[in-house]
Amino acid sequence: MMEINIPIGIKGLQETTVGPENTASRYGSGLVEVFATPAMIALMEKTCHESIAKYLPEGHGSVGANVNVNHVKPTPVGMKVQCESELEEVEGRKLVFKVTAWDEKGEIGSGMHTRYIIDTARFMAKLR
């Protein structure tokens, strides 16, 4: 694996608007029309992935391996949700991020997310 230098402390920011497609009732994670916990986690993963993408050589990507977050407040359909990630640790191919999500009324979730850098072709070949 070639050496990849990703600076600790880099931040990412992503935003989405809660729609019917990312509610708890649509995901099957609950029965209410609010932003689903799996949707919040997906936004957190996307934020982390996008924040490091430009540092990865061609043919490389990252995959999520661990998520440890709390989802503490509901967000209704129509409200914007933002997520910020901050890279806290780099250990070889392992990347550890702090993640925080908030809506127009305040923080809705936070925690840690671990990703691993992969050689995409090699990773997919192992699956066959």
Out of 49, 60, 71, 113, the active site residue is 71
Out of 16, 33, 37, 100, the active site residue is 37
pLDDT one-digit tens code per residue, 25-63: 999 999 999 999 999 999 999 999 999 999 999 999 999
Pick from 40, 42, 51: which is nearest to 10 by CA?
Answer: 51
Give domain 11-127's CATH architecture.
Roll (3.10)
| CB 114, CB 96: distance < 8 Å | yes
49 is catalytic: no
- Taking the C-alpha atoms of residue 117 and residue 97, their distance in angstroms, rounded to an integer, is 13
pLDDT one-digit tens code per residue, 84-124: 999 999 999 999 999 999 999 999 999 999 999 999 999 99
Out of 45, 75, 84, 113, the active site residue is 45
* DSSP element (H, E) containing 123: helix 120-127
71 is catalytic: yes
23 is catalytic: no
Q: What is the pTM of this model?
A: 0.95
- Taking the C-alpha atoms of residue 126 and residue 32, their distance in angstroms, rounded to an integer, is 39
